[in-house]
Chain A
């Protein structure tokens, strides 16, 4: 299957600093990538849809000025958590869509990155 990488895998930072997380599709081009956040013992919650060459689409309740998303190329999307605070500590996971063909039909399949564990002190 397709491979999506994330960097860094783990980051610890002080409150008030900004943290950038990279998401790359390694062997395919992705016009659309997604950013999820997962708190302990909870499911994945979609934060935003990252669109190559245009503005990201944020889910309700997600502050676009706090979580800056840039999708400057077909293989790279970045999420910057600005002025991070302890409540932003979470597991951030990106994914990318790829159309796959099965029994003659095209379907969207999402491939997930390995995730980034952010801890804000």
Chain B
């Protein structure tokens, strides 16, 4: 079992819709989780991180963490074509480095 798992997609949503990206993790001891966005050929850029159960909102983005279910999600409201990218979920799984999921490719259709 991979430590951090994501559906590879692609996830296709129309412009203006809500995009929902999901991630599960296997290490119950993991404390904090990160969502990165990566455009093709570029380095990942941090969108937000979450460490407490519940929701955390930042602009159009909402991260959700459910430690009991070992589940992390990212909601993108009012999706824009510029949001089209690969979204990487990552967590600290007992090491000092982040462990990344395989990423979900999001396509926002104009």
Contacts and interface: CB of A to CB of B under 8 A. Distances in A.
Contacts of B34: 109-110
The number of chain A residues touching the other chain, given as a range, is 20 to 34
A38 B49 CA distance: 22
B46 A109 contact: yes
Interface string A91-116: 10101010000000101111111110
Interface stretch (B64-72, B74-82, B96-104): B96-104
Interface in A55-101: 91, 93, 95, 97
Given A107-B49, A107-B51, A44 B44 contact: yes
Interface string A28-43: 0000101000000011
B61 interface: no
Contacts of B103: 43
Interface string B30-48: 0010100000011111100
A25 interface: no
B63 interface: no
A107 B100 CA distance: 17
Query: Binding site of B, secondary structure by majority: helix, strand, loop or mixed?
Result: loop
Contacts of A105: 51
A108 B92 CA distance: 9
Given A42-B102, A43-B88, A113 B43 contact: yes
Contact of B43 (A46, A109, A114): A114
Interface of B: 32, 34, 41-46, 49, 51, 88, 92, 95-103
Q: What 8 A-B pairs come out closest when comparing CB atoms?
A: A115-B43, A43-B102, A34-B97, A112-B43, A44-B100, A43-B100, A114-B43, A46-B97
18 contacts: A34-B96, A34-B97, A43-B88, A43-B102, A46-B95, A49-B95, A49-B96, A49-B97, A95-B97, A97-B96, A107-B51, A108-B32, A108-B92, A108-B96, A111-B46, A112-B45, A114-B43, A115-B43
Interface of A: 1, 32, 34, 42-46, 49, 91, 93, 95, 97, 105, 107-115, 117
